[in-house]
Amino acid sequence: MTNIPEIGQPAPDFSTPDQNDQLVKLSELNQWIVLYFYPKDDTPGCTTEAKDFTDLAAEFTALGATIIGVSPDPSKSHCKFIAKHNLSITLLTDPEHQLIETYGGWRLKKFMGKEYMGVARSTFLISPDKIIAYSWPNVKTKGHAQAVLKKLQELTTK
């Protein structure tokens, strides 16, 4: 059974390389974090999601948030994905899916009658004090970045 962090719980810490092979550590990020998990670079749904987050990046930044995507793809793939679609978000590489598993994103999936383990699209909104402020465990890409932004606006104007 997957262990998805719940709202109000401390966010599991991580230290994971980004697209430039620089370690990104949750413990060193003192701002709101949009941490989203996606299956694969440059696939239709994943591209839509990354572009939507990029399009809204300035609004997230204005609210004190940074956007971080995570997939099993290697840094070289992330760099190509970022360049091809002019993305302005950070992408972490998790080939052994340790971070993905920590956040409950490595799950049994079904496609055309076959079952396999893979990345379930999911998103976590982490507060500056490293608490899970909100989560979307089963994301549909259409309108998702806007929904995350709306929730962040609600949480930061309380």
Give the residue numbers marked as catalytic.
46
Assess contact for 18 and 24: CB atoms under 8 A.
yes
As to burial, measured by CB atoms within 10 angstroms (0-12 exposed, 13-18 middle, 19+ buried), residue 33 is: buried
Assess contact for 108 and 102: CB atoms under 8 A.
no
Number of residues that this document lists for the chain: 158
